[in-house]
Structure 1
Amino acid sequence: MNTDNVVLDSGPAALTPAELRAVLGHFATGVAVITAHDGTRPLGFTCQSVVSVSLDPPLVSFCPAKTSTSWPLLREAGALCINILADHQGELCRQFAVSGADKFAGVDWQLAANGAPLLAGALAHIEATVEFEHEAGDHTIVLARIGALRATEGAAPLLFYKGAFGGFAA
């Protein structure tokens, strides 16, 4: 199927997941690893649906899959860190996308001020707490209040586009 010329006009009921991926994959997104610490161990998962929601109050949103086994554990922990990945962190992204693995094996991290893992080398870190969750099809929309944030200058973002990772060139 040539996805460059996909025209979908048969109504939402006829759309397939493959068609949605083919067309919505044309929207490049940044990639993040959402982390928390439950007092015993660090937890985390890869997420590409992070978006700024509000400046006042400071809110961000992300959307974990309902099938995620990690998200319920992070929710219980409470304090989160959204680690915005840099273009050299594709392997780290893949590591945190694997279910059931020791996601932190070989990963350089430290605790952020809110107690969530802050991943070394990330482009930016956003410390947040969950304010609200909303059911949304096969995902959950999470709204989180930002408590602290920081960014690293000079690095470029890891991007996800049409099913592949890449970087940004100005």
Structure 2
Amino acid sequence: MHELFEFPADGAGLRRAFANFPSGVVAVCAEIGGIPHGLVVATFVPVSLDPPLVSFCVQNTSTTWPRLADATHLGLSLLGTDQQDAARSLGTREGDRFAGLRVHRGSGEALFVDGASAWIEGVPEAQVPAGDHTVVILRIHRLAARADVDPLVFHGSRFRRMHAVEATRVAG
């Protein structure tokens, strides 16, 4: 028998329940006026194939998002398993978030973190208020991926690596 835990539907309870769902870790970056700006999100979702859209959520208290929101292009780096330090650095509220990070530029102001498992370049198309966050919808203009880099995953309030298991077919 499996033990079931109930949590109140408040911030603390939601945080505990949501920790059971793994998510990718994505750096959202741009270079504006010659200065790199970036933040990290774990709320990245593919939205549409036609037109090509993705979304991510940003806390309304973010002091970085207002700088990124007006960028001509944003660079999304889907961080790889060896990029836990990059995720921590871009997620800090103090100091130089880009210290020690290798980056490359895309179109417009898009900025990418080297070594990521995938890169998406796009233009913010919409911002939708959603409680204590804003849902940002990004129209994709370019993308690239590396098959040799596994994605970094956030699960159980910590960074993890994915472990592949052999899928078995169920007769139907």
Q: TM-score of the superposition, structure 2-length normalised? A: 0.90
* 1:53 equivalent in structure 2: 47
> CA offsets, 1:36-79, max 9 Å, x none?
11122111001000110000000000000000011000012231
> CA offsets, 1:144-166, max 9 Å, x none?
10000000111111100110110
* Counterpart residue identity of residue 158, structure 1: L
* 1:11 equivalent in structure 2: none
> CA offsets, 1:129-150, max 9 Å, x none?
1000111000000111000000
* 1:19 equivalent in structure 2: 13
Instruction: Report the structure, 1 or 2, having the larger helix content.
Output: 1
Identity, % of aligned pairs? 36
Aligned residue for 1:76, secondary structure, equals coil
* 1:115 equivalent in structure 2: 109
2:146 to 143, 147, 152: 152
**Number of residue pairs aligned between Structure 1 and Structure 2:** 162
CA RMSD of aligned residues (A): 1.2
Aligned residue for 1:61, secondary structure, equals strand
Counting only pairs closer than 5 Å after superposition, residues 69-108 of structure 1 correspond to structure 2 as: 69-108=63-102
1:65 to 56, 59, 66: 59
Supply the distance in 2 between the matched residues of 1:69 and 1:154 (Cα, whole angstroms).
34
Say whether residues 1:37 and 2:31 are aligned partners.
yes
Which runs of 5 or more structure 1 residues have no equivalent in the other structure?
Answer: 9-13
Native 8 Å contact 1:79 1:116 kept in 2: yes
Which runs of 5 or more structure 2 residues have no equivalent in the other structure?
Answer: 165-172
Q: TM-score of the superposition, structure 1-length normalised? A: 0.91
> CA offsets, 1:75-134, max 9 Å, x none?
122310110000010111000001132111111111113431111101100001100011
Native 8 Å contact 2:72 2:109 kept in 1: no
Q: Name whichever of 71-80 and 130-139 sits farther off.
A: 71-80
> CA offsets, 1:6-63, max 9 Å, x none?
225xxxxx62211101111100000010001112211100100011000000000000
* Counterpart residue identity of residue 161, structure 2: G
* Counterpart residue identity of residue 5, structure 1: L
Return structure 1 stretches of 4+ with deviation > 3 angstroms. none
- Shift of residue 5 of structure 1? 2.3
Supply the distance in 2 between the matched residues of 1:115 and 1:45 (Cα, whole angstroms).
15
